[in-house]
Structure 1
Amino acid sequence: MTEQQEASEDAVMTRIGQAVILLHAGDREEARNRLGEIWAEIGAEGDSLHRCTLAHYMADAQDDPADELAWDLRALTAADGLRPGEEPGPPPGRRPGRGAGQTPGEGPGQTPGEGPGQAVRPGPQQAVRVFYPSLHLSLAADYVKLRRPEAARVHLARARAAAGALADDGYGNGVRAAIARLERRLAAEPGEGPRPFPEQYS
């Protein structure tokens, strides 16, 4: 990759990060607009790393659970296209498996005790497979919101199966804890579709 290409890559990720700052500040509409502009530029067939990162963020900016699901599915598809060793973007700054019964007051992408907005994501030295537990956990939470418990259980099982790739650190422990919370939530309501979780952002 040439220096010019690398600079272009960095510029895209920087713009995504700027949109996420707006999202965390509560300006969901502007964040959606900026992420949408970037998505239009890189295209549905664009760089997998960019698409995975952007879609994973964009899901958090949605008001409609169906739209949230659609973006999380795009993130998973893009992750499948990443080459081993590629890192799916900078720390997304979202809770692992958002909506999966987090403790009130926890900031996006953090575990209890961290400050607001401090992201919990694997570093660039970790393989793409570390990203899958959170992707599937997010999808499981989406399906719970849509009252589709069986689909939620499928992705929750995939998140649990992929969790072996997680390190024993803040990010890994956060994802495992979120998986356990959602498992308890689903197990507690076997006779009826689980109630949707509250939106992460108000």
Structure 2
Amino acid sequence: MTATPAGPDTTMEAIGRAVTEGRAGDVASARQELLALWSAIGVTGDPLHRCTLAHHLADLHEDPAQALAWDVRALDAADAVTEQRVQQHHAGLHIAGFYPSLHLNLADDYRRLGSFDAAAEHITAAGEHAPHLPQDAYGDLLRTALDEVAEAVSRRDSAKRTSAPGPAA
């Protein structure tokens, strides 16, 4: 049996609003809002908040080195998230389902930086976690992106993928 949260998670709601703002085109404002939230959460704050925020903040950086720094933070935070905490946020989520996307993003960052061996390691890790992806449009999107990044790594291609999330190149 999963516990029901005591009330709305205002931090997750604020992260969601900033992400929506960034996707609507106001990337600079979304970044500022997420950075302010990051400061409020702190490096030892709720790992679900840190993972979610860092994962989305990485997508708001065109520079792959900046994205990499946030994607590393997201993966580190995911390793500290418990299944119970994820279930408190949403009964349908499982921490195992986070890892394909987290490793995919790291693979893409490393690939864009020309670090193809590191990229290949994260593609392998993402593939190992891919069975945890849902059989829905989101899962299909990630499986397609995994194939795209793996192909780009094999070609030693460091160009940004047109299907990659984030600000336009």
In the superposition, the TM-score normalised over structure 2's length comes to: 0.87
Q: Cα distance, 1:29 vs. partner?
A: 0.8
**More divergent stretch after superposition (160-169 vs 129-138):** 160-169
1:130 corresponds to: 97
Percent identity over paired residues:
39
**Alpha-carbon distance in structure 2 between the residues aligned to 1:186 and 1:47:** 34
| Pair 1:61 & 2:28 matched | no
| Contact in 1 for aligned 2:61/2:167 (Cα 8 Å) | no
1:194 alignment counterpart:
157
8 Å contact kept, 2:48–2:78: yes
Within a 5 Å distance, the mapping from 1:1-202 to structure 2 comes to 6-7=6-7, 10-87=9-86, 124-187=91-154, 189=155, 193-198=156-161, 200-202=166-168
1:161 and 1:139, CA in 2 relative to 1: closer, same or farther beyond 3 A? same
Instruction: Give me the TM-score of the superposition, normalised by structure 1.
Output: 0.73
1:22 Cα deviation from its structure 2 partner: 1.1
Displacement of 1:25:
1.1
Q: Identify unmatched segments of 5+ residues in structure 1.
A: 91-122
Q: 1:74 to 1:66 in 2, by over 3 A?
A: same
- Post-superposition CA distance 1:34-89 (Å, at most 9, x none): 00110000100000010001001110112321110000000000000010243399
CA distance 1:53–1:132, shift in 2 (3 Å): same
1:181 Cα deviation (Å)?
Answer: 1.5
Tell me, in whole angstroms, the C-alpha distance in 1 between the residues paired with 2:88 and 2:30. Answer: 17
What CA RMSD, in Å, does the superposition of the two structures yield over aligned residues? Answer: 2.3
Q: Which amino acid aligns with 2:153?
A: L
Q: Which has the higher helix share?
A: 2
Cα distance in structure 1, aligned partners of 2:69 and 2:91: 26
Number of equivalenced pairs: 162
In 2: Cα distance, 1:137 partner to 1:159 partner:
6
Rounded to whole Å, the distance in 2 between the matches of 1:73 and 1:65 is 12
CA distance in 1, matches of 2:144, 2:116: 19
- CA deviation vs aligned residue, 1:124-171 (integer Å, no higher than 9, x gap): 413110110010001000011111111100000000011111232222
SS of the aligned residue for 2:143 comes to helix
**SS where residue 86 of structure 1 aligns?**
helix
Does the 8 Å CA contact 1:166/1:172 hold for their aligned counterparts?
yes
Whether the 8 Å contact between 1:130 and 1:166 is mirrored in structure 2 is yes
Higher relative contact order (CA 8 A, sep 6+): 2
Name structure 2 gaps, 5 residues minimum: none
